[in-house]
Amino acid sequence: MSDQIRVSILGATGSVGQSALDVVASEPETYKVAAVTANQNVQALAEAAVYARAETAVIADPERYEDLKDALSGSDVAAAAGPEAICDAAAQDADRVVSAIVGAAGLNATLAAVKRGATVALANKESLVCSGPLMIEEARASGAQLLPIDSEHSAIFQVMDRPERVEKLVLTASGGPFLSASMAQMAAATPEQACAHPNWSMGAKISVDSATMMNKGLELIEAVYLFETPADRIDVLVHPQSIIHSLVSYDDGSVLAQLGAPDMRTPISYALAWPKRMRLPGVERLDLAKIARLDFEDPDEDRFPALKLARRAVEAGPWGPAVLNAANEVAVDAFLQKHIGFLAIAGMVQDVLDQFGAGERGDITDPESFEQVFDLDRRARDAARSLLQQAA
């Protein structure tokens, strides 16, 4: 059927991936799943593939190819394995490629889809953060389109009717689990506490990013590149209920916002069906009278220095976000493994940015190729790891 939408889902076993599968399953007449991919969890991938009646399932770990084949035996799903097979799946023909791998690990696959000229439903903000201008340029060259899945960017995209009249973008932030925590409480925070988000259920990495508010920092950078808007025209507004997903302020005084229950299926569905909208019976409808009030406050950049760091990084030029992201990934991982405390995450990101910004690692220049992005990412991870060793 020609009006069917063929969808591939990279990172199908993750939080966004599972929500994407849910959206697709709610409209079996509309969607057809081409490929699904995952990192290591063969069982979860096989279940996702069979559930979605996917054509192909790809596991990143090449050692797990046989296990995947076994798990898929008796089904019509083809098996493949290895990082190149993930890129092949990303590049294969599909109307939408959901990029929902976590971290810079998603860069290669996202790039493969962009190079093919795909319409990419982008959740993997880190890939855009570390390669922004190059990725946008690549998309322009191939005709690829980047449609945001991140709820804030989806909100902006949904209400951005006249880009030339925009004065400001306003990203809302829940403030995460430590919105009203003291510095002492944050210093003692455990991974379990950091991952207990009040409004959203998400993967571990983005949950910690939400707790430090680095997630909002990464989203600020994502918005700079996606909407080609300088950082000084993007505000962050704390809104603990996560009902208003973001706002666009126009030069006639109008402010347009998108509201909804905090449920990732709404922005995922928008990115899959755009320019159409699709009915989502399973998503809770807003009852504003019941909610009764919405609260707002300015972010506290002293308790949440990650926001300042992200601003500083993006203003330094494209090298800044690449370094910030790599250092943050190493620091979040170390925190999840209980090697460092919660407040040390932003501390480490700042130290690595300082090292690169102060030129201790040679003359820092903006990456001019994806090779240089990967190189910068490696060097920033090395710098963060040696800080970890010094601290141990």
Q: Is residue 329 a contact point for Mg ion (CB under 5 A)?
A: no
122: its two tokens: 């982008």
- Restricted to residues 150-179, the positions that interact with ligand NAD (CB under 6 A) are 150
Q: Is residue 123 a contact point for ligand NAD (CB under 6 A)?
A: yes
Q: Is residue 246 a contact point for ligand NAD (CB under 6 A)?
A: no
Q: Which is nearer to Mg ion, 321 or 367 (CB)?
A: 321
Nearest residue (beta carbon) to ligand NAD:
14
Q: Which is nearer to ligand NAD, 310 or 364 (CB)?
A: 310
| Cα–Cα dist 368/168, whole Å | 29
Q: Is residue 13 a contact point for ligand NAD (CB under 6 A)?
A: yes
| Cα–Cα dist 360/355, whole Å | 6
Q: Is residue 263 a contact point for Mg ion (CB under 5 A)?
A: no
Cβ of residue 206: shortest distance to ligand NAD, in angstroms? 4
Region of 200-208, 220-228, 246-254, 324-332 interacting with ligand NAD (CB under 6 A): 200-208
| Cα–Cα dist 357/117, whole Å | 35
Length of the chain measured in residues: 392
Q: Which is nearer to ligand NAD, 107 or 189 (CB)?
A: 107
Give the sign of the dihedral formed by CA 34, CA 36, CA 37, CA 40: negative
Contact 31, 58 (CB under 8 A): no
- Restricted to residues 255-274, the positions that interact with ligand NAD (CB under 6 A) are 264
- Classify strands 56-59 and 145-148 as parallel, antiparallel or unpaired: unpaired
**DSSP state, 232?**
G
Where b means 16+ CB within 10 Å and e means fewer, 222-252 reads bbbbbbebeeeebebbbbbebbbbbbbbbee
Contact 230, 164 (CB under 8 A): no
Contact 314, 357 (CB under 8 A): no
User: Residues 6 or more apart from 274 whose CB is under 8 A from it?
Assistant: 147
Contact 18, 44 (CB under 8 A): no
> If binding means CB under 6 A, how many residues of this protein chain bind ligand NAD?
26
- Restricted to residues 152-171, the positions that interact with Mg ion (CB under 5 A) are 152
88: its two tokens: 């092949």
Cβ of residue 275: shortest distance to ligand NAD, in angstroms? 21
Return the residue of 8, 15, 158, 325 that touches ligand NAD, per CB under 6 A.
Answer: 15
Return the residue of 34, 38, 314, 331 that touches ligand NAD, per CB under 6 A.
Answer: 38
Q: Is residue 86 a contact point for ligand NAD (CB under 6 A)?
A: yes
Q: Which residues bind ligand NAD (CB under 6 A)?
A: 11-17, 38-39, 60, 86, 100-102, 105, 123-126, 150, 200, 202-203, 205-206, 264
Q: Which residues bind Mg ion (CB under 5 A)?
A: 150-152
